[in-house]
Structure 1
Amino acid sequence: MLLQKSISIKLVSFGLITSILLTGCTSGASEESSSSQEKSDKTLRILTNVVGGKDPEEQDLFEKEIERLTGIQVEMDKPPADYDQKLLASMASGEKYDLVYLTKPMLDILVDQNVLTDLTDNVNDSEILSDSNIIADEEWDLVKTEDDKIYGVFNKFEGGTLPTVRQDWMEKLGLEQPKTLEDFYTVLKAFKEQDPDGNGKDDTYGLSTAGLYDIQGFMSAAGVKYRYIIDEEGKRTIPYATEAAVPVYEWFAKLYKEGILDKNFATNDSGKMRELFLTDRVGMVTYWDAWVGLFNNIATTENPNTEFVAKGIPGAEGQDGKIMLRRGDPSLWSVPVNAENPELAIDFLEFWHSEEGNILGSLGIKDNDFTVTDGEYELTETGVEHGMDHGAPFPSNRQFENPIGVYPGVEEAQKVILDNKATVEVSTADWPAAEKIVTNYAFKAMMGEMPAKDAVKQMNEELSQADLID
């Protein structure tokens, strides 16, 4: 699961709009689906990021598998890097794709530029896409525009981020699941001081993060959310830059001073943080719900007799008793207005949300990633390496049950995200600039380099001066 960067509207020039519109709008994706014979005479061009094979050879197999399952010939363009830049450049040049992969922040930008097809009628007219048992109504609410239009259809179910704890350490030390910020302190302090790994050395941290990614589970105690809050009048505020966040910054400063918080948290990347967790160096991290299962799978694969157990838990309760967690930005498929085969694009999207499409997006390619014998599914060695992830490890289809099963702990972690009604964060074109200021002063407060109140005050002043908040 990669964190997509917000792309400034300023990057999408007038030339992008002109080139796409001049290429010629189709009659829309609302045309009736073609017959199987007609499909075979056309090629569906797809610009994709995470969906597909794990290498060029498997990518070719992936395309052939789609054709075997649907009769649709596909050509998938999967750039090796800088995907968002490739998407923008391709659309600006007038290159024609029938489907493009993007995330909600990018969708918002391209909708504003009038370069994506309105798919509202297509979704409503589709027995598959409009079925609330497949895609829940509340999921569509995450991606609808202000005028209730749909310009993107889900690629997969996006979970969220939450505190992930070494549950075996919790049980070994006789600790209860924390609820308040003070409870979290008690647990993290025990991880630091009570030798949970049993090696007789003072070499464990209570908590590690990859910078501010993602401390939302602790900011929940103050009832503040990362990125922007925009009111009905369009006024922008950044809750992490308000006085409400000060007590949480002070809490982090206490952890840092006492050596409970990983001293390298500000410079960690997610890989370093994961390594600390998997090698018994830290008792809690903040990461994606899907990684709860991956942590457990990696640990047991390396050592079948390991005591390692990762568990996703709710964040700290606010004064109202509620927990405020982060939901990931939805990943979507959209149809550009210059698509040559919009009807095939809809056919593909219906397939993608069917059981066969769900299996392809998760398990992968039959006889390459998995085999089926007398109805029993089994991963091949290649399939094990690929981790049941070919772009949609957790399909949006609520009726789908992975025939292999899922990794231990992941369903419980996803339930935490859904039960607490985690919401997506709000970005704007200005967020990358604002984030630099927020991060700079948040780190100073968390490491005790500045009193939290002073850091927040300075944060606000710089954000205001740069016209990044109202």
Structure 2
Amino acid sequence: MEARGSSPSHSINQGGKDLMKERKISRRAVCSAMVASLALGVLEGCGSSSSTTSSAAGSGAAASNERITVRILKSKAANEVAAEQMDIWKVLGEKFNMDFEFDNPPQDNYNERLNLVMMDAQLPDIIMDMPTTEVLKYGESGVILSLNDYIENNMPNLKKEIDKRDGVEKALTYSDGNIYYMPMLDEKVSGNMPYIVRTDWLEKLGIESPVTLEDWENYWHLVKTTDLNGNGTNDEIPFSSYDMTGLRNFCTAFGCLDDFYTDPDDGGKVHYGPIDPKYKKAVTWMHDMYEKGYIDPEIITMDYASFVPKLAQNAVASFYGPLGGMLAAQNATMPASFPGFHVEATVPPKGDAQIHSYIDQEPRAIAAATITASCKNVDRVVALLDYMYSDEGTRLINMGIEGTHYTMQDGKPIFTDYVMKNPDGLSPKNAIGTFTFAQSSGPFILSQDEVTQLDDESVNRAKQDCIIPFLEESKKYVIPGSTSFSSEDDAVRRAVMADVDTYVDEMIIKFVSGREPLSNWDTYVEKVNGMGIAEVIDIYQKTLNG
């Protein structure tokens, strides 16, 4: 992982999880004696050279006589207490003989705070959650450190995790060879935005869950012509979504993506979906569904905040949304008001020339932590961060403190009632937010031990039956979210796509709603071509062939 040359620009998909609404959190504190007893040793300080042995860096087992203060900038998610109140930082402080000082702005204000912090001559030692679009700028100027040598020689846990995941090293490495940040490695199943249907209404109609486009159209027709909610009027909405993405993603059933993609039937060449002939067929179908009244007209202007109340009206027959935030939430709340209510995910929509899959953009690596040039104890900070990728560190960050937040049952960590039936009435995610940042982001591995316990049966069933079996198909088409570009190429790509994205979004709405006749499709394609899309396609092709 030897660094070379000057920094490039880098693109990587931002991951993350649904954030809970802000609420005042009360909790039972973990006493200092418990925290101290759980610390298995403290790390010996080694100055700021890069000569620390891998074993010391990885285990944190050696003792240090000097306690140091580590300053950290990290965003605060809505479901989290302040970082200094989190129990895991107390454990880590005792283990590594460190005190932590946090700058912990709310996520909504994080970018503004980051910009102010970066104007200060004395930076925090660690900056977490820096947007990947900002990493390059600060890496080039030497404000944040290249981590190549540290990962190779001093971070055995992180190196092991990178090495065993195809594509992650490439995801982290800029085209100059430098790695500037440590990732959040997400082991959750991706493609977690499926189509969701009212299975109680399917039963009333005597039909199975839709698979093909014909199945979807039949379901929507029956919904449109049947008083399924029993209120005396046909006010049912066959399909809705909180934005056009939910509708546009039906294009996979026509053999293309709503983005750049590689076509295995065309030698792996890069295509831009929204001007592809296959996409025109998809938009033609979407327009037909819209004209028949199957598509909620408010999909054009709706956002998430206005969509959730719409779902509560017991009128939407199918929709697009996150497994936890919508599938699980609807099944948890709606039956109390509407007995029998139930929703389930569907398999990906299938057409004649289909990508029969929800889209999985591997590898999933999220920018999580950088070390700044102001850090005076780099080796000790490196050891702290590497520990977070160890088995022990992964367990601590995901599950908390054994005996308080989880117990071991049949060799697996199981959350206690503090999380699952919190005595203060906190939801599981809010309870977790009192002791760890695992529900937002950070330099660690999001473990299935945590994820599967928080998912309800319908979510786990959706993953196993509707998502996982089809993900392999998407890999033939998807351009990895980790694709890295040179500075020059990325500047061109961003400039062109800023205009293209705006124009395409406007025109797809017009085509679907009928405000623009589909006879003008060729004119639309010509304009997109005139905006420079071919140059961006060439940039993707060159980078992928690289």
Counterpart-to-counterpart distance in 2, 1:387 and 1:407: 16
1:420 pairs with one of 471, 475, 480: 471
The Cα shift of 1:445 comes to 0.8
Instruction: Give the match for residue 66 of structure 1.
Output: 89
Counterpart-to-counterpart distance in 1, 2:222 and 2:392: 47
- Tell me which moved more, 106-115 or 150-159: 106-115
The Cα shift of 1:335 comes to 1.6
CA deviations on 1:129-169 (whole Å, 9 max, x unpaired) are 3455x996137267243668654321544633221222332
The Cα shift of 1:260 comes to 1.3
The Cα shift of 1:282 comes to 1.0
- Tell me which moved more, 443-452 or 375-384: 375-384
Indicate yes or no: 2:480 matched with 1:429.
no
Show the 5 A alignment for 1:189-228: 189-215=221-247, 217-228=249-260
Q: Which amino acid aligns with 1:154?
A: M
The Cα shift of 1:283 comes to 1.9
The Cα shift of 1:337 comes to 4.6
2:517 pairs with one of 451, 459, 466: 451
CA deviations on 1:248-305 (whole Å, 9 max, x unpaired) are 11222122222211111011101222332343221222222333554246426x7298
Instruction: Give the match for residue 71 of structure 2.
Output: 45
Counterpart-to-counterpart distance in 1, 2:282 and 2:140: 37
1:467 pairs with one of 527, 532, 535: 532
Counterpart-to-counterpart distance in 1, 2:203 and 2:133: 41
Show the 5 A alignment for 1:360-399: 377-378=416-417, 379=419, 380=422, 381-384=424-427, 386-387=429-430, 390=433, 391-393=437-439, 396-398=445-447
Counterpart-to-counterpart distance in 1, 2:170 and 2:308: 29
Counterpart-to-counterpart distance in 2, 1:393 and 1:155: 13
Q: Answer whether contact 1:290 1:413 (CA < 8 A) is retained.
A: no
Indicate yes or no: 2:344 matched with 1:311.
yes
Instruction: Give the match for residue 158 of structure 2.
Output: 129
Counterpart-to-counterpart distance in 2, 1:318 and 1:116: 48
Q: Which amino acid aligns with 1:331?
A: I
> Which structure 1 segments of 5+ residues have no match?
6-25
Counterpart-to-counterpart distance in 2, 1:437 and 1:212: 14
Instruction: Give the match for residue 10 of structure 1.
Output: none
Indicate yes or no: 2:179 matched with 1:153.
no
The Cα shift of 1:204 comes to 1.6
* RMSD between aligned residues: 4.3
The Cα shift of 1:120 comes to 4.9
Q: Which amino acid aligns with 1:457?
A: D
Instruction: Give the match for residue 186 of structure 1.
Output: 218
Distance 1:191 1:465, change over 3 A: same
2:110 pairs with one of 83, 88, 102: 83
Counterpart-to-counterpart distance in 2, 1:47 and 1:106: 15
2:127 pairs with one of 51, 76, 99: 99
Counterpart-to-counterpart distance in 2, 1:408 and 1:461: 48
Q: Larger C-alpha radius of gyration, 1 or 2?
A: 2
1:338 pairs with one of 357, 367, 373: 373
Q: Answer whether contact 1:195 1:204 (CA < 8 A) is retained.
A: yes
CA deviations on 1:382-423 (whole Å, 9 max, x unpaired) are 531745664534984556356955323223334444441455
CA deviations on 1:75-118 (whole Å, 9 max, x unpaired) are 33333324345435534555334132145555577667776544
Q: Which amino acid aligns with 2:70?
A: L
1:438 pairs with one of 488, 496, 504: 504
Indicate yes or no: 2:456 matched with 1:407.
yes
TM-score normalised to the size of structure 1? Answer: 0.75
The Cα shift of 1:429 comes to 2.3
Q: Answer whether contact 1:162 1:326 (CA < 8 A) is retained.
A: no
- Tell me which moved more, 170-179 or 383-392: 383-392
Counterpart-to-counterpart distance in 1, 2:163 and 2:322: 21
Distance 1:304 1:260, change over 3 A: closer
3-state SS in 2 of match to 1:203: coil
Q: Specify which structure has the higher proportion of helix.
A: 2
Indicate yes or no: 2:274 matched with 1:240.
yes
Q: Answer whether contact 2:254 2:281 (CA < 8 A) is retained.
A: yes
The Cα shift of 1:241 comes to 2.7
CA deviations on 1:291-332 (whole Å, 9 max, x unpaired) are 3554246426x7298433332333223545532433477433
Q: Which amino acid aligns with 1:207?
A: F
Instruction: Give the match for residue 17 of structure 1.
Output: none
Give the count of matched residue pairs.
438
Counterpart-to-counterpart distance in 1, 2:382 and 2:285: 50
Q: Which amino acid aligns with 1:185?
A: E
CA deviations on 1:338-386 (whole Å, 9 max, x unpaired) are 2514444444444544577556656678999x58799870131353174
Instruction: Give the match for residue 54 of structure 1.
Output: 79
> Which structure 2 segments of 5+ residues have no match?
1-12, 16-47, 264-268, 484-489, 536-546
The Cα shift of 1:441 comes to 0.2
Counterpart-to-counterpart distance in 2, 1:360 and 1:290: 23
Aligned residues: percent identity? 18
Indicate yes or no: 2:203 matched with 1:171.
yes
Instruction: Give the match for residue 13 of structure 1.
Output: none
Distance 1:215 1:116, change over 3 A: farther
- Tell me which moved more, 188-197 or 119-128: 119-128
Q: Answer whether contact 1:157 1:330 (CA < 8 A) is retained.
A: no
Q: Answer whether contact 1:222 1:319 (CA < 8 A) is retained.
A: yes
